[in-house]
Structure 1
Amino acid sequence: MQYTYLGRSGLKVSKLCLGTMNFGAETDEKEAFRIMDAALDSGINFFDTANGYGGAGHQGRTEEIIGRWFAQGGGRREKVVLATKFYGIMGDENDGPNDERGLSAYKLRRHLEGSLRRLRTDHVELYQMHHVDRNVSWDEIWEAYDVALYQGKIGYAGSSNFAGRDLVKAQYEAAKRNKLGLVSEQHKYSLLCRLPELEVLPAAEELGIGVIAWSPLDGGLLGGNALRPLPGSNRSGNPDRVAKHRPQLEAFEKLAREFGESEANIALAWTLLHPAMTAPIIGPRTQEQLESALKVVDIELDAPTLERLDEIFPGPGGEAPQAYAW
């Protein structure tokens, strides 16, 4: 495994991040334990979750599974750089009129306590805002984060689904308080979703914010089974999306066959090439899928291959404003 710093922090994380969204929803607890053990054994130390994961009507179940895995001991908790998120509705928090999406100080405190309880730990290394909330001031947000930092309940602040302007605003307000601010931004980025190249990725790179790519296989479309889905599988998205992208997926399949690697691993390796990228999130449903993804950090995509990928999956044309203005 290879490691890098998380943004401009001094925290080192693996260049693959284990995503746990399937745990409790599509992956049972026994298999989830196997996957997490195998991830640690392979050198993956970066685990990502969220308080809302677990399946419809079962928010928090994924964190509970991770907590029970930690409770087995054996240094599991000590070896993991743990990231979770808050923003959405958590029915068991009994928030009354405040039981809505958002980033209020009230919500941060209550939902952090809930996550720590479910995860069976006294802190998380990275506490992420799952979405932007422009109804809450940065004075309120950063003050709430300061309290949690001083209490030792979190190590660093991160964001997810922020626009470039939100990253800039967050860091500007943090600098006014002489604080580090965000160390990471979790953002959708894949060969089929290259819009972040316009604003978000350049902003993150300039601000020293490490990007964590979610859905780097675009909901399974780039995973290799979209054109010939496995029986009972729904991981390749809806048929309309497959039909829309069929020519691209067929060309991608041909490229992968000639390159001698799976479509999924090429797509993951491609995300790692951007200088702002810390790690793509891999979300294996089985231990076998995890083991297949481990070679990604060692795949080298040569110039001709990258040119063909650009032809198959055109980007926005570069960074803004050069991509659309002189």
Structure 2
Amino acid sequence: MEQLVREGKITYVGSSNFAGWQIATAQNAAADRHFMGLVSEQSLYNLTARTVELEVIPALRHYGIGLIPWSPLGGGLLGGVLQKVENGRRASAQMQQTIERHRPRLEAYEALCAEIGAQPADVALAWLLRNPVLTAVMVGPRTPEQLAGSRQALEVQLSDDTLRKLDEIWPGPGGEAPEAYAW
């Protein structure tokens, strides 16, 4: 990667799906070589998938690296899937199984979103955007309406009470490592 930067073929280097120790190793190796190192990490991160909170996010914060989450809406699960299915949208067999596995959480989540007057997708994106380590949230809208809807996430303000309720519905790993599991 250093050679590609020197040749002007790339400007910055990012990683994807690195563990916290790999991020630390990469940054220390880059520092030893007087190279900038990683500037971003792309990891699976959303309300339903919070494992990166254990070690990846603390490593990113320590090294000043930005996080770009992939699957910010959990493959559609956090986009109001129950309401969409009830309104006749078809779901694959795999998605139907996922919905059934998470149905109690999805019902509580969509009810909370309705209670605060926000669309489920907007709440999921707003939850991500409040994390200072995040560089950007990339979404893949299929329609102009979905794009406009995603921009609404910038307007959603999540109160401490709402954040607490989201943690109850979609619990994270319990904090950062090693405190989350060692004491």
TM class by shorter-chain length?
over 0.9
Q: Deviations over 1:219-250 (max 9, x none)?
A: 10111024542656447952111111000000
Q: Which has the higher strand share?
A: 1
Q: Per chain length, whose mean CA-contact separation is higher, i.e. which structure has more relative contact order (CA < 8 Å, sep 6+)? A: 2
**Other-structure match for 1:315:** 172
- The residue identity in structure 2 corresponding to 1:297 is L
Q: Does 1:156 align with 2:12?
A: yes
Q: Does 1:260 align with 2:117?
A: yes
Query: Structure 1 residue 146: deviation in Å?
Result: 2.0
Q: Deviations over 1:61-110 (max 9, x none)?
A: xxxxxxxxxxxxxxxxxxxxxxxxxxxxxxxxxxxxxxxxxxxxxxxxxx
Q: In structure 2, what is the Cα distance between the partners aligned to 1:236 and 1:308?
A: 29
Q: In structure 2, what is the Cα distance between the partners aligned to 1:158 and 1:321?
A: 25
Change beyond 3 A, Cα 1:235–1:224: farther
- The residue identity in structure 1 corresponding to 2:12 is Y
Change beyond 3 A, Cα 1:201–1:213: same
Using the aligned pairs only, state the percent identity.
Answer: 49
The 8 Å contact of residues 190 and 267 in structure 1, kept in 2 or not, is answered as: yes
Query: Structure 1 residue 301: deviation in Å?
Result: 0.4
**Other-structure match for 2:37:** 181
The 8 Å contact of residues 213 and 281 in structure 1, kept in 2 or not, is answered as: yes
Within a 5 Å distance, the mapping from 1:1-326 to structure 2 comes to 145-226=1-82, 228-229=84-85, 231=88, 233-234=90-91, 238-326=95-183
Query: Structure 1 residue 151: deviation in Å?
Result: 2.1
Q: In structure 2, what is the Cα distance between the partners aligned to 1:283 and 1:163?
A: 25
User: What SS does the corresponding residue of 1:324 show, helix, strand or coil?
Assistant: helix
Q: In structure 2, what is the Cα distance between the partners aligned to 1:151 and 1:203?
A: 29
Q: Which has the higher helix share?
A: 2
Query: Structure 1 residue 290: deviation in Å?
Result: 0.5
User: What SS does the corresponding residue of 1:278 show, helix, strand or coil?
Assistant: coil
User: What SS does the corresponding residue of 1:238 show, helix, strand or coil?
Assistant: helix
User: What SS does the corresponding residue of 1:281 show, helix, strand or coil?
Assistant: coil
The 8 Å contact of residues 82 and 107 in structure 2, kept in 1 or not, is answered as: no
Q: Deviations over 1:234-289 (max 9, x none)?
A: 47952111111000000011101011010000001101122211122211111110
Change beyond 3 A, Cα 1:174–1:232: same
Q: In structure 1, what is the Cα distance between the partners aligned to 2:43 and 2:23?
A: 12
Stretches of structure 1 that go unaligned for 5 or more consecutive residues are: 1-144
User: What SS does the corresponding residue of 2:31 show, helix, strand or coil?
Assistant: helix
- The residue identity in structure 1 corresponding to 2:61 is E
Q: In structure 1, what is the Cα distance between the partners aligned to 2:106 and 2:71?
A: 16
- The residue identity in structure 2 corresponding to 1:316 is P
- The TM-score, its normalising length taken from structure 2, stands at 0.93
The 8 Å contact of residues 226 and 236 in structure 1, kept in 2 or not, is answered as: no
- The TM-score, its normalising length taken from structure 1, stands at 0.53
Query: Structure 1 residue 147: deviation in Å?
Result: 2.1
